[in-house]
Structures are given as structure tokens and as C-alpha cells.
Amino acid sequence: MKIKEIYNFLDSLSPFDLQEKWDNSGLLIGNFEDEIKQVYISIDLDEQIVDEMEENSLVITHHPLIFKALKTINYDSYSSKLVKKLIQKNIALISMHTNIDKTHLNKYVASKILDLDVINSEEFICYANVNDSFENFANKISKNLGLKYLKYVKCNEEIKKVALVTGAGMSLISEVKADCFLTGDIKYHDAMEAKARGISLIDIRHYESEKHFSPLLEELISEYLKKNQLKAIITASKNPFKFCTQGEPVE
Amino acid sequence: MKIKEIYNFLDSLSPFDLQEKWDNSGLLIGNFEDEIKQVYISIDLDEQIVDEMEENSLVITHHPLIFKALKTINYDSYSSKLVKKLIQKNIALISMHTNIDKTHLNKYVASKILDLDVINSEEFICYANVNDSFENFANKISKNLGLKYLKYVKCNEEIKKVALVTGAGMSLISEVKADCFLTGDIKYHDAMEAKARGISLIDIRHYESEKHFSPLLEELISEYLKKNQLKAIITASKNPFKFCTQGEPVE
Amino acid sequence: MKIKEIYNFLDSLSPFDLQEKWDNSGLLIGNFEDEIKQVYISIDLDEQIVDEMEENSLVITHHPLIFKALKTINYDSYSSKLVKKLIQKNIALISMHTNIDKTHLNKYVASKILDLDVINSEEFICYANVNDSFENFANKISKNLGLKYLKYVKCNEEIKKVALVTGAGMSLISEVKADCFLTGDIKYHDAMEAKARGISLIDIRHYESEKHFSPLLEELISEYLKKNQLKAIITASKNPFKFCTQGEPVE
Amino acid sequence: MKIKEIYNFLDSLSPFDLQEKWDNSGLLIGNFEDEIKQVYISIDLDEQIVDEMEENSLVITHHPLIFKALKTINYDSYSSKLVKKLIQKNIALISMHTNIDKTHLNKYVASKILDLDVINSEEFICYANVNDSFENFANKISKNLGLKYLKYVKCNEEIKKVALVTGAGMSLISEVKADCFLTGDIKYHDAMEAKARGISLIDIRHYESEKHFSPLLEELISEYLKKNQLKAIITASKNPFKFCTQGEPVE
Amino acid sequence: MKIKEIYNFLDSLSPFDLQEKWDNSGLLIGNFEDEIKQVYISIDLDEQIVDEMEENSLVITHHPLIFKALKTINYDSYSSKLVKKLIQKNIALISMHTNIDKTHLNKYVASKILDLDVINSEEFICYANVNDSFENFANKISKNLGLKYLKYVKCNEEIKKVALVTGAGMSLISEVKADCFLTGDIKYHDAMEAKARGISLIDIRHYESEKHFSPLLEELISEYLKKNQLKAIITASKNPFKFCTQGEPVE
Amino acid sequence: MKIKEIYNFLDSLSPFDLQEKWDNSGLLIGNFEDEIKQVYISIDLDEQIVDEMEENSLVITHHPLIFKALKTINYDSYSSKLVKKLIQKNIALISMHTNIDKTHLNKYVASKILDLDVINSEEFICYANVNDSFENFANKISKNLGLKYLKYVKCNEEIKKVALVTGAGMSLISEVKADCFLTGDIKYHDAMEAKARGISLIDIRHYESEKHFSPLLEELISEYLKKNQLKAIITASKNPFKFCTQGEPVE
């Protein structure tokens, strides 16, 4: 099966033209005419999972491995190192980033993973009704995402409506119309801003909120691949973060 | 005492011209000719601490309250809200940000707070010898900063040399020449980058690593203020983040 | 009455979205949810008129007080000084600039104040038939605007058609299709350009041609305010310019 | 005599490299190798004075005729029209603008024309001691410049120190350290700004304050030209502005 | 006949609004109201052909004489020199560049001059069927354009489809969907790029491929001019290039 | 031997910091710590010469293979295709472009290859005395560079002084102070410009004038490599251009 056939199918699922102008979704490495024998799906790449992939395959990631354009490929940086490994194993790479955030991922995480009552999902922000205490709600999020340790900013005792952006969504804070905002990679100044605006935050983390990309995409493309005698293997780059408390690992 | 006198003294301690070109350190609110009766020092401002300040005073913060230039002052955003409060109480504001990072703060946190063996401190990055296991070192950091819960990326068992940038320093990762890097606000893609480069990370958090600005500055200016019949009051905006594990507060 | 209600009414009269992209019309100081008890209208602000305003009111000006975004509020500059006063008295500020120029002001000044035979008014330029000698026409303008002293560039004895832009409109000279152009703040190089193009100029001054904003707006909103138990007070920043001839004041 | 010889002499008087980066001083029309038989000096050009010039001559103006680069030469605009005339008469054009402002003109107008006690003249701003009442000082300026009609902004009764910039200098207001500022082409918002800063203004007009360029330059180059059997003719573009009061011409 | 009448007729033939945004087609020198007595057509101008033109005429060229906007007209550069000559003879200049490339020229050269089987011509690229050997096709091109000496890059023995852009079209290489590309001014790195993409190139040269502008335009406007008692004279700037081989001139 | 050792040696010969700001000289592919066993030198790369290289080697080229930063590596374009090949064979790439032009190449080609009497060589332009007829000089150039077929622009019968820029140097035409200019990739508008300026041109072609990079560099580094038990192999990407006249190949 040729890459361009899968590319076109993915484009019909979630048009690459929907990506934000700063994004770099699409075919990043490879040639539309190449034949592939194996498809992998992963939120990201790291050295170990590329080592374990078969040659002449295709990997579909959520995050674009090439984000800032490359002036040199010097094997020091994260992207250069993995570009080298992929090319040496002749593995093609397609990334589906802000296009699938908009068409599927936010809604999927909100309804299927977090079990929220979604009322609206457009562009990057997904809204749901809550009507519960902050504590109950935080516990539910914690359990559904499997986060033992929770970082949060609390402004109110009760939450009526929640907004969700998977990954790192704090740049959207001024557009949020809800009393609680769920997103990842929340920085200190973001937290100060939210506090002043009276919007509670629960940090659902970048990796943990977006790793659901893989089962979601697998579900969306398995039938199509089957017809073409292919199967998608879900693989996962490791979460780089570990947590400990007083020397004892927490997660 | 006039604001311009204190301003000039602060400038002699840590020249405002040393600030980065994207920074906004200096006299942000007030008039050089105004008389002040009270000086406050704080890493940042929040509504509560401004409410508790006396009128006609001066507050010196680490982070510039006005960072992105204001086209409107609409009282929704963090900075507009506090600009309003300061002006209504006629409180002047001076911020010392990247200038004092370079001249004092990084070195102070490394040697006085973290008790490290500093070998070199220039521009934003401070280096220290470690020669210890990752576990021992992480525990030491954890204890000295009072962090019950530690987020980290571990690439090696042993650490020889460590680099430190207080606040949010991950944009400097490509310049770091050490096997471990201490900084705050570490995001997921930063962690992936560090992992690929083989540099361990310990997240010393933004607020917790920079709140030491206040006692440091107090020490530096108390004598000068005394001569002018003034005293600096250390106050502290609250850390907006809280942490819990399975419903139980951790910190 | 809440600010957002008046704001919405003003927006229906003269949509803020019509403003030029370099303009800063809209709610510049205040909060949409604030209650106001008094409304003032003025072409601009100066210290004296803000001193005379009641607290917790709203002022609607023609020119945006904040034009260049503020990096500091240091009380030296015109805008910082008045921003301080407004905030200390908790007075909100809405500016209606290029939007009302386009929808009402140019046409109003041309027909009601200057008593011209308007044939067309679109975007910024308003056209009228004249068919009179330059002298007669200049005298009429002089009388209707109350300008004792007139600055002009004369290229023809007869004027058939005149173009008008209130305020400072010389950047539009290359679009003017008329034999005389009325606008304010005419600079020397503007006059050289007009002379070469054979277009006469009469300087109707910036303040004098735009102070009519206040009665115009009062007329447009009085009924609406009345229904809400409010009244608009027309106030006026002083014209900063004075004129004298050989030591004797002229105007 | 070749143009490049005069050009080099002018450059030694007032180096063209001193011009501001937005300026366009230098040889604007002509060829360094061309022979010239006649030299004219004028603040600016207009159609009439070019008509009266001899062919194959050189004119030195203060303001650059080509300021915005030309994409077309369509004979409608001021600069295109005069470019055409100059080329058809084979007249070369050199402009000395911000270079001579800095080296000679501001100081010359302050001391020789206005008879001020100059204390300092650097870059664009020239300072002088005054110590007189505003009225007396304004009358002196009025008389020395021959301005029957004076536009001003008055903030103080007494003037200690005055700053002067010939031409249009209001963009420098925030740098002015004096209680009165003399410059030309003062616009309404400039006046509001000055008023808020407490700096009085007297509008010395653009043309009237810079027409002294011609006798100044003539004095500087006459001896040099004489040695080369040439003479500079002072000519003058007309002031495009006229003034009247109630139909009667004032100036 | 007035220039604006011819201009409007040319605009109806090939709208000037179709030009690329970096282009400068239109009336470059002259005035829409000027009367002209003679029309010339030429791909470009050089000193000799302007010397031979009659005064008070109009010349229509393919390439805009003013391309980079002029800050000075110093008679050294190609465009300044000819601008001078045109103005001194009061000759107006209209250029029709990328607008006529799109509407007429590419198609005309492909079908009338090169005798190709055109299948499609839109924007800048014109496509034709070939189905011949590279050698035969290259010989045909060579003969039809009168090029004794041919520069080419050969990637295939057979050519099925050819793309053509007159003038200098190599910046469009990534859009070309053909096995051979005909254009002029092919540089070394362009050739490397085409070779890697497997697209053969034949350099049809800039002047030689676009000089057909003149007879094409003459055909398009002769009837219109006749009705207005005018005639277009085809003239030609000289090809600046000459070729020799071992001292002997080739073309 | 490690790449960084050779890199440092090359940097001492011709500092990479001398490159123009638009250039991309330096280590483009590879890792400073990699060991290499073989060194190749070539003006450029093409598929065939990379196929023939040994794995784990280093190639030094004149032109940077990565010039425009890469957002994707899609194997269609020249640079992507060769980046893929180099990485798959683990071949490192260093480019020495504008730095060596300035320090060695222009002077070398002028004196050693063209046998000119060099009088001055700085930045990009190299000057030499000629004092010969255009015909004699053109023949000499033709013979010394081995160009059977010569493209030129002739403005004068005699040449006194010549300027030389290897590669594509026509953007420097306005700086050239000579009566003949030798460079490559001369386009039609360049030729028109030179003709108007009276400067003759001889097109010494891009590839043919720069292929001398390889023997030059080999000479400069052979001794150093020898000490390190290495040898540089001169290889050559093919000239993509071929030439024929009436079907018969010329070169």
C-alpha cells in the first residue's frame, strides 16, 4: 500500500488543511509513492520505540517531530536524532496534530476518557456541564486519567461548567467561558492569570491527556487498513517525567 | 524619600540596563518625584497582598506586572486588575527581573538555599559540582526547597555537574553543559528534548525557586533604607498551585 | 445601568468593528459589569475636566486616551496621567473614534455645522458642491466654525466641489477628487503636495472641527439614556492652542 | 566644475553619513561626472522657481524632493512633477537635510535668527537660557521670525530654558528637558501631550524656521565657489500657506 | 489621443490587476491626460532605441523599467539612465508584464512560435503534449526559436509532456507536472534541483522567448489604434548577449 | 579521527564566522564526536557520487546542501533526496561556502586558473590588471577555463581592469569598479544593467568557475590529514548542463 493512499484516507478523516498556521502536520518524512508494510501509531517518538519498529514502515504521531525548520541535522537535538533513526530504517512519518485536536481528540478525551457531559466542542475548546463540588470533580478527573498526584488552582467550591483543551492550552485562557479549565503544562504565570480571573485549573498533563490519541486513531483507521491487509500497532513513547515524594516513587 | 532615590540605589545594586530586551524591568507605575513612606518586597502581587498594603507606598517585585503592553485596562485580566488596585491606593511599582537574575538571584539560590558548590555563575546559568547519585541529589534538592513532591527526568545514575536557572529556564537547554539541569515550569516537550540530549531534569518550580528574591533583596537594601528612616516589609503573593494525592492535600 | 448595556447601544449606533486597524476604539478603562450613575461626553480629556467629574461614572470620548500600548504608567505622559486620575475616581472610558467618523461625524460637520450641500459621504471623505469664489467660501467656513484666523493654501479662484475630513486628514490627499480640501493639522509638506496637485486647502483645525462630536453624540443617545434614568453631560477638554498677533490675543 | 567636487566639499562641511536612517539626503538627481555652470540654493522647490532656473545647473535644497521611493513618475504628485522639470532642464539636485540640521541649522537659527543665549546644541535639539516672562519671550520670537500671527500653548508664566528644533520636531517631545519648546508643524495631539507635561510650546512654523537654510549655506560655500568661478544664487520656493482674519490677509 | 484611452483599452485586453504583487506593470512614466502621437512596442528599452523615438510618444514595454522603487535618479544605473532619456523626450511608458504573461504571452509562444500541441494554459505555466524523443524535441525548439546553440539538462530519453514559462520561470519548478520544462535564465542550482527531480530542462532564454511580445501586442492593438488614426511601431532593444566559440561568433 | 578535529582545522584555515548572514556553512549533517575514516571533497553532491562513497565518512562541499531550512524531508526535492542518502550511509557533511570564497577561492581562481595579474582581493570581489583587447582576453578566459562556448556582453574594445566573482556574482554589479566583470549565472536583466553601465561581462559559469574548490581544498588540508592517517579523495558532482549546436554536442 502506498503512503499517499493512507495519507488521503487520514485527510478525509481529519483534513490537514484545518491545522493552525504555526503547526506542521502532514507527511514529514518519506515519499508519497513509497510502499509500506506496517503502520505504527504513537503520541510521540523516542529512541527506544524507533529501535523496535520494522524497516519500511509508517508511523503516525500526534506531535510533529519537525516543528522548527531544520538548518542542520546534527544529531544532538531530539528531532535530529530521531530524524536520523527514521531515515536509516526508511520509516515514513505522518503527524496529525491540531487538525485532529479540532476534529476528534478534545471531544474524545472529554466524553470517553473523562466521562463528561459534553455540551459543545468547537475549534480547540470543549465544554461540559459539571454541577459538582471542586473536590468531587477533581477526584473524578484524577481517577479517570490515572493521575495519583494532582496539581490544581482552586477558585471556587462549586463547578458548574468546565472547559477542556488536551495538551498545553493555557494560551487560550482569555477565551475560556467556564469556572474550571482542564489542560496540561500549566506554568506559574498561567496560574496567576487564572486565579485573578476566578477560573479554577486542574492540570491534566500533556502526555497523559494526549496519549489517548493512539487508541482513538486505531479505532478510526483499523477497518480501512484491514481492507488493505494492514494492521496498526499502537506503541507509546515513554512519559519522560517521573514523580517521587521524599525519595519514594509516586507514579 | 523620593522614588528616584531608591530607584538609583537599586540600579547601582543591579543595573536595569542588564535586563533582556524582551523584559520590562524598571519603574512600571508611579512617578520618580513621588515621596514614599513604606517599601514592600514580593516575588509577585495578588489582590490580597495589595489590599493589605498601605497607601502611598512602593512595592518592589521580581516579575514585571506589565509584561505585554496594555491597549486597554479592562479589569478582567490579572495585570489590569492589579494595576487598578495599585493606582487607587497610589502605590508605586518597581520590578527587578532579569537584571537581578543575572547579578544575584541564581547564585544566591544555588549557594544559600540549595547549598551547592558553585563553580561558575554568568548570565542566566549557574553551574555547581555535584558528584553524587541522582537519588541523593534529588533528595537534597527536595529537602532544601521544601518540596514534598518532586517531578523529574532521569537520564543517568550519577550527577557530576549541575546547571541551575531559577524560574522558567528550559529555553536555555541547548546551552546547558552539565548532566543535570534544575529549573521550573518544565513542560512535556522540554522533557522529551532533555531526555534525547541525556540531560537529567529536576523541576524546582517557578514560585518555589524564585520566592527567595524577597529575603535576598531585603538583605541587600535594609541598611540603605535604615539610613533613610525606612524599612522594607517582606510580603508574599500566594503560590497559586496546590497539590493533592487521591483527594488528600500533599503540600 | 451596566457599562455593557451602553456599550451595546453605542455599538448598534456605530459599530466598533468599523474602526481602522490602527485605531483603539472601544472600552479602554473599566469593566463591562460595572454599574454607572453618570455619563459624560467629551472630544478629549484633560486634568481639569476629570477633576470635575463624579466618581463611578462613564466618559465617552472621541479620541482614544490609550493609543500606543502602555509598557509603563509613569504619570509623566498625557495618557498615563489621565489613566491614573480616571482609575482613582473609578471612571470608565469608552472611545468612539474612526467608527463614528465614518458613520456620523464627517457628514454631521459638513451639513449641520458648515451648512454645505453634501453630495456623498463614504468612509472618511465627505463631498459637497460649492460653486463659489474661494474668498466667499473661506469666509463662510470661517464664520460657521468660529475661526477668527484662517490658514489656507489657495490654488484656484473658484471652487466647484469640496472634500472634508474632520480631524487630521492630509494622509488622504491622493484620494481627494475635488478642487478644495477641508481638514485640520495641515503640515508644511502637506501644503506643498496639495499646491502641486492644484487642490486648495482650508485648515479647519483638529479640535475645532471635531468638538462637534459631543452635541452629536448627546443627540444620538439622550433618549436611550432617559429610558434608563440617565443623562449625558457634555463637557469639553480645553483647546490647548491659543493665538495672538503682536502680543494681542486673537481667539 | 564637476558635481562630485561640490558634493565632496558639502560632505566635508556636513557629512551626509550623519543623516538619520529614514532620511534621503545626498545626490538625488544627476551624475557625479556632470559639469555645472550655476548653483542655486533653496529650502524646497516649486514649479515656478524651477522654471526660472538655467539649464545644466545644480540646485541644493534642504528637503529631499524624493522622500518615499518612486514606483512610478506619473506627474500628478509634487515630487514626480518636479523630478520631470529638473530632468528636462538637466538640473542636478543635492539635498542636505538631517545632516545639516545636526551640524549647523538648529544652532544658526537659535543664535543668529532668534538671538538666543545658546548653552548646548547636539543632535537635533538646541537649548538656550531665557529667564523671561512667556509674553516677552513670545513677542521676541514673533518679531525675530517675522510672524505676525502666533500659535502657542502656554503652561507657565516664566520661561527659564527653551529647546529648539527647526522644522517639525514634536516627535522629540519626550526628550525635551526645558519649560518651553520651539518647533513647527505642531499638531493638536502634540499640544495636548505638551500641556500634560507642563511644557509650553511656540509654533515657529516649518517654512519660516527653515528658510534660513539658504543664507546659511550660501555663507558656508561662497568662498569655495568663488575659487571655482561659480556663484550661488539664493532662491526660494514660496510658502504655500497664507493667513487671513475675517477675509483680510494677515501675512 | 489621450494616454488614459489607450491604457483603458490595454486594461480590457489584459487587466493590470492580474499582475503579481511583486510586479510593477501599468503607467510608469507620464500623465493620463497627455496627448500622444505615436506608439512604440518593445520587449525592453535601451539607449539607442529611445534615441530613435519621436518626442511626445508612448512606448509599451514588456518589462517594467522601474522595478525596484527609485530613491535617487543618478544616471548610473540602467533604469535611471533611461528614465532620464524618456522624460527629456517627454515619452510616456506603459509596461505590461505578468498580466500579459498570464493572459496571452505564454500560450502565444507555445502555440504560435514553438508550434506545440497546447493542452492547458493557466496562471504562468503552459502545458503541451510532446511524445517524442528528447533529441527530436530539442531540435524542434532550437529551430523554431532560432537558437543555434542550446543549453539543456537531460533526464529522460522520451518526453511525454512539456511545461513552458517564457522569461525566467525556474522559481516555479516545484509546481511543474511534466517531464520537460522550457524556460529561460536557468541557473546552476536550478539545474541541480531539476536533475534531482528527474525533470529535463531546455533553456529557451529570456530575451529570445519574450521578444515575441512585440508582434503579439501589435496584432492585438493595431485595429484599435487605426480607428484612432495611430499606428504602433515595433522596435526592439538589442539582446545584450553575444556568443562565440573559440573566438568565432556563433549567433 | 573525530569530526570536531577536522572542523576546527578547517575553521582555522577559513573561519566559518566569516560567512554571510544568509549563508549556511558549517557542519550540516553529523555529530562532532563521530569518528570518520574517509574524507571526500566536492563542489556539490549528486545521487551518483553519494552512492559511490564509503559509509561512515565525511564529505566537504562548497555549496550548503541545506540552504532553505527543512520543514519536511519528503525525498522529492534535491536536498531531501541527498540528505536521505547521506544519513542512510552515515556520511557527515561540512560545507565551506562564503567563508572560503572570501579567504581563498576567488583569489585562487583568478591567479592560478585564469592566470591573471591580481592587484587586490577583498570580500567577494577580486581585481586584476588586463590591458588587452576584449577578443584576446575573452579567448584567454575561454582557454583557461576550458569553455568551448562563450556567452558575453561587450561594451568596450579594450579592457584595462577586470573584476572576478566565482559562482553567481551579478548582485554585486553596482560595486564593481572595472571595465569587465567575470562571473557565472548571468541573467538577461543583469546583462541589460551591465550594458547600461558600460561594463563588459564574460560568463565564466557557476560550476566551471567553482569546481576548482576541490583541488584548492585538497592542497590546503592534505598534509594535516596525512598526519592523521587520512587522505582526501577529490570527487565531483556532474555538471548538470550540456550544450549542443544544431543537434551536435558542443561540450
Using CA atoms, how far apart are residues F11 and F36, in angstroms rounded to an integer? 18
Q: Do residues D60 and D14 make contact, with C-beta atoms less than 8 angstroms apart?
A: no
Distance CA D109, CA D126 (A): 10
Mean pLDDT throughout A1-16? Answer: 97
The amino acid at residue C223 is: E
Residue E21: inside a domain, yes or no? yes
Could you tell me if residue D244 is inside a domain?
Answer: no
Nearest Cα to E233, choosing from E29, E47, E57, E5? E57
Residue E112 shares a structural domain with residue E63: no
Query: What is residue E189's predicted lDDT score, i.e. its pLDDT?
Result: 97
Does residue C51 sit within a domain? yes
Q: Are residues F79 and F151 in the same domain?
A: no
Q: Collect all residues of chain C within an 8 Å Cβ-Cβ radius of residue D241.
A: 151-153, 188, 191
Q: How confident is the model at residue C245 (pLDDT cuts 50, 70, 90)?
A: confident
**Chain B closest-CA separation from residue C239 CA (Å):** 25
User: Are F54 and F37 contacting, i.e. CB atoms less than 8 angstroms apart?
Assistant: yes
Residue A125 is predicted with a pLDDT of 96
Question: What confidence tier does A240 reach under pLDDT thresholds 50, 70, 90?
Answer: very high
Provide the domain limits for residue B113. Answer: 100-204
Q: Are both C107 and C82 inside the same structural domain? A: no
Residue A91 dihedral angles phi and psi, to the nearest 5°: -100, 125
**In the structure, do chain A and chain C come into contact, i.e. share 3 or more CB pairs under 8 Å?**
no
- Same structural domain for residues F157 and F187? yes
Please tell me what DSSP assigns to residue E242.
E
pLDDT tens digits, residue range D137-191? 999 999 999 998 899 999 999 999 999 999 999 999 999 999 999 999 999 999 9
C31 and C69 together in one domain: yes
Contacts of E182 (CB under 8 A, 6+ apart): E114, E141, E162, E163, E164, E165, E201, E202, E204, E209
What residues have CB less than 8 Å from A100, skipping those under 6 apart?
A14, A62, A213, A217
Task: Determine what percent of chain D is predicted with pLDDT higher than 90.
Answer: 92
Q: How far apart are CA E209 and CA E112, in angstroms?
A: 12
Number of H helices, E strands in chain D: 9, 13
Output phi, psi for F102, to 5 deg. Answer: -70, -40
Between CA A187 and CA A169 the distance in angstroms is: 11
Model confidence pLDDT, tens digit, residues C132-144: 999 999 999 999 9
Beta carbons of B216 and B41 less than 8 angstroms apart: no
Looking at the structure, do residues D187 and D225 belong to the same domain, yes or no? no
Confidence band of C228 (pLDDT split at 50, 70, 90): very high
List, for residues B18-71, the tens digit of each pLDDT value.
999 999 999 999 999 999 989 999 999 999 999 999 999 999 999 999 999 999
E77 contacts chain D (CB < 8 A): no
Within 10 angstroms of residue D38's Cβ, the number of other Cβ atoms is: 16
Residue A185 reports pLDDT greater than 90: yes
The yes/no answer to whether this complex scores an ipTM above 0.85 is yes
List, for residues A35-64, the tens digit of each pLDDT value. 998 999 999 999 999 999 999 999 999 999
Q: Who among E29, E30, E71 is closest to D66 (CB)?
A: E71
In 3D, which of C141, C233, C153 has the Cα closest to residue C190? C153
Going from the C-alpha of F183 to that of each of A210, B231, F166, F207, F228, the distances in angstroms are 56, 73, 6, 11, 37
The amino acid that residue A194 corresponds to is A
B236 near A192, Cβ under 8 Å?
no
pLDDT of residue D100: 97
D201, D218 in Cβ contact below 8 A?
no
Question: Are B24 and C72 an interchain contact pair (Cβ–Cβ within 8 Å)?
Answer: yes
Scanning the structure block, which residue is given the C-alpha cell 513604606? B38
3-state secondary structure (DSSP) of residue F163: strand
C64 touches chain B (CB under 8 A): no
A43: domain CATH number is 3.40.1390.30
Whether the per-residue pLDDT at E219 is higher than 80: the answer is yes
Among E135, E149, E185, select the one facing F149 at the smallest CB separation: E149
DSSP codes of every residue in F180-209 = EEEESS--HHHHHHHHHHT-EEEE--HHHH
B39 Cα to chain C: minimum distance (Å): 18
Q: Tell me: do B198 and B105 sit in the same domain.
A: yes
Q: Count CB-CB contacts under 10 A for residue E12.
A: 9
Cα distance between residue A234 and residue E96, in whole Å: 58
Q: How far is CA E59 from CA C65, E23, E207, E231, in A?
A: 53, 18, 18, 12
Query: Is residue B115 domain-shared with residue B91, that is, in the same domain?
Result: no
F152: β partners: E242, F202
Beta carbons of C66 and B73 less than 8 Å apart: yes
Q: Which helix (H) or strand (E) holds C203?
A: strand C200-203
Chain C closest-CA separation from residue B82 CA (Å): 11
Interface probe with C: pick from B75, B81, B89, B95, most Cβ of C within 10 Å = B75
Q: Using CB atoms, list chains with 3+ pairs below 8 Å to chain E.
A: D, F
Return the axis-axis angle of helices F78-88 and E188-197, rounded to nearest 10°. Answer: 70
Residue B205's identity, in one-letter code, is: R
Give the residue with greater pLDDT, C75 vs B184.
B184
Statement to judge: residues C198 and C222 lie in one domain? no
**Number of domains composing chain E:** 2
Q: Do chains A and F touch (3 or more CB pairs under 8 A)?
A: yes
Residue range D12-51, pLDDT digits in tens? 999 999 999 999 999 999 999 999 989 999 999 999 999 9
Partner D, chain C 120-149, Cβ-Cβ below 8 Å: 135, 138-139, 142, 148-149
**pLDDT (mean) for D103-115:** 97
A77 vs F: CB within 8 A: no
DSSP string, A138-172: HHHHHHHHT-SEEEEE---SEEEEEEE-SSS-GGG
Determine whether the interchain pair B77/A174 forms a contact, defined as Cβ–Cβ distance below 8 Å.
Answer: yes
Domain match, D115 and D80 both: no
D193 touches chain C (CB under 8 A): yes
Identify the three-state secondary structure at position F249: strand
The answer, for A74 touching chain F at a CB cutoff of 8 Å, is: yes
In angstroms, the separation between the Cα of residue C138 and the nearest Cα of chain D is 8
φ, ψ of residue F121 to 5 degrees: the values are -145, 110
Each residue's pLDDT tens digit, B84-109: 999 999 999 999 999 999 999 999 99
Sign of CA dihedral D116, D120, D125, D131: negative
Residue B145 pLDDT = 95
pLDDT score recorded for residue A196:
94
- pLDDT score of D247: 74
| Contact indicator for F65, F23 with CB cutoff of 8 Å | no
Alpha-carbon Rg for chain A, nearest whole angstrom, is: 19
Q: Is residue B249 part of a domain?
A: no
- Sequence-separated contacts (24+) of C13-21 with Cβ below 8 Å: C13/C103, C13/C104, C13/C220, C13/C221, C14/C96, C14/C99, C14/C100, C14/C102, C14/C103, C14/C104, C15/C99, C15/C103, C16/C96, C16/C99, C17/C99, C18/C98, C18/C99, C18/C102, C18/C103, C19/C97, C19/C98, C19/C99, C20/C98
Residues D170, C240: Cα–Cα separation, whole Å: 15
**Average predicted confidence (pLDDT) for chain F:** 95
Residue C241 lies in a domain: no
pLDDT at A140: 96
Q: Are B147 and B204 in contact (CB under 8 A)?
A: yes
User: C111 with C194, same domain?
Assistant: yes
pLDDT of amino acid D18? 97
| CB contact (8 A) between residue C153 and residue D193 | no
> In which order are the strands placed within the sheet that holds F92-95?
F26-29, F92-95, F58-61, F39-42, F232-234
**Which of these, F249, F31, F35, F1, lies nearest to F148 by C-alpha position?**
F249
Provide CB contacts within 8 A for E49, sequence distance 6+. E40, E42, E235, E236, E237
Does the CA dihedral C227-C231-C237-C239 come out positive or negative? positive
Q: Is residue E241 part of a domain?
A: no
- How close F202 comes to chain E (CA, Å)? 10
A87 touches chain F (CB under 8 A): yes
> What's the confidence (pLDDT) of residue A232?
94
- Indicate whether B34 and B57 sit together in one domain: yes
Instruction: List, run by run, the mean pLDDT of 10-residue segments along chain F (251 residues).
Output: 97 97 97 95 96 97 96 92 97 98 96 96 93 96 93 97 97 96 98 96 97 97 95 93 84 69
Judge whether C108 and C62 are in contact, CB under 8 Å: no
F20 is in an annotated binding site: no
pLDDT digits (tens, 9 = 90+) for D124-137: 999 999 999 999 99
Q: How many residues are given for chain C?
A: 251
CA proximity to E122, closest of E101, E142, E151: E101
Model confidence at B76: pLDDT above 90? no
Nearest CB to D244; choose among C63, C150, C206: C150
Alpha carbon B9 to its chain's center: 20
Residue B74: pLDDT over 90: no
Strand partners, A37: none
pLDDT at D74: 87
Are C206 and D187 an interchain contact pair (Cβ–Cβ within 8 Å)? yes
Q: Is the Cβ pair A151, B242 closer than 8 Å?
A: yes
- Render A28-65 in DSSP notation, one character per residue: EES-TT-B-S-EEEESS--HHHHHHSPTT-EEEESS-S
The Cα–Cα gap between B242 and C1 comes to 39
Residue located via cell numbers 541598611? B223
Residue D8 counted as domain residue: yes
Interface subset of E 30-59, CB within 8 angstroms of D = 30-32
Cell of F65: 546542501
> What residues pair up with A26 in beta bridges, in sequence order?
A95
Across the interface, do C74 and B29 touch by the CB < 8 Å criterion? yes
D250 domain residue, yes or no:
no
Give the confidence band of C155 by pLDDT, cuts at 50, 70, 90: very high
- Hey, which chains touch C, using 3+ CB pairs under 8 Å? B, D
CA–CA separation, C116 and C180 (whole Å): 13
